[in-house]
Amino acid sequence: MIQIGRLLAFSLQPIVGGPTHCERHYNPGMSQKILIVEDEIELVKVIRDYLEKAGFRVDSVDNGSAAVSVIQHNPPDLVLLDLNLPGMDGLDVAREIRRINDVPIIMVTARVEETDRLIGLELGADDYITKPFSPREVVARVRAVLRRTQKPVTTPEIIESGDILIDLLRHRVNAADQSVELTPTEFDLLVVMASQPGRAFSRMQLLESTQGETFEGCERTVDAHIKNLRAKIEADPKKPVYIETVFGVGYRFRDE
Ligand code: CA
């Protein structure tokens, strides 16, 4: 998704009636974002420092429910999850995360025996790190897990689904054998979603993948673009068949 977004031309259509004061946050090179879930502030500082030096963007929260909220609304590329958290413990957080999406999780535990127990629980974590660890080791594990879990993104020339045909080379879209005129942003949104049918994208992800930068507080502009896009490609925009709303998350292109 990220690579596709990078290939697409920068485009931002002004939205009539949309938010007027959006803060720009340039997001250099669309670097990958790591979410640290850890209540030991000093440890967070050290890991954050190393990860940022390694080129990652870093978010951190000190409890499980905040982690779940971030993963729902602004999903990272990987979660570094401490097992021993105040309130909701790491195991429950991992379960919650898995109910939302399949973001890679590295569990951080205090003891080797704990690691064995966790592996037995088959929580769907992608790796385990035992404390104490060196920050360098964390960076290496993060890189390894990202390499292993990321599906190569191949950009096809044509995407077809039902009576929608997207010609990526010619920047053309047909719906029910009729050519439709999309704005560059609508085209980008459609391609990003249709390239991974069935995958739910948050509004923030859609913004980032089409623009290469984020506009804080402007996630609702995505809704306006989606509305216009549905009006152009759906037979009945009130009952969309192709672009589905994912309640509490965002949107997805239908998976046939
Ligand atoms: Ca802890």
Residue type, 57: R
Quote the ligand 1 centre to 53 CA distance (angstroms): 23
pLDDT of residue 122: 72
Quote the ligand 1 centre to 138 CA distance (angstroms): 16
Quote the ligand 1 centre to 18 CA distance (angstroms): 42
Range in 7-21, 158-172, 205-219, 242-256 the model is least confident about? 7-21
Quote the ligand 1 centre to 249 CA distance (angstroms): 28
User: pLDDT above 70 covers what percent of the chain?
Assistant: 82
Quote the ligand 1 centre to 161 CA distance (angstroms): 47
Question: In this structure, what are the phi and psi dihedrals at residue 43, rounded to the nearest 5 degrees?
Answer: -65, -40
Quote the ligand 1 centre to 77 CA distance (angstroms): 21
Which two structure tokens, joined as six digits, stand for 228? Answer: 């216009």
Tell me which DSSP letter residue 198 carries: T
Which two structure tokens, joined as six digits, stand for 172? Answer: 């053309």
List, in sequence order, every residue forming a beta bridge with 82; answer none if it has no partner. Answer: 108
> Tens of pLDDT along 21-37?
343 343 334 589 999 99
* Overall pTM surpassing 0.75 (yes/no): no
Please list all protein residues whose beta carbon sits less than 5 angstroms from ligand 1, which is an ion.
Answer: 39, 82, 84
CA distance 43 to 33: 18
3-state secondary structure of 132: coil
Q: Do the Cβ atoms of 58 and 99 come closer than 8 Å?
A: no
Query: What are the structural domains of the chain?
Result: 4-149 (3.40.50.2300), 158-253 (1.10.10.10)
pLDDT of residue 153: 57
* Overall average pLDDT of the 36-48 stretch: 95
What is the distance, to the nearest Å, from the Cα of residue 18 to the centroid of all Cα atoms in its chain?
23
pLDDT of residue 217: 54
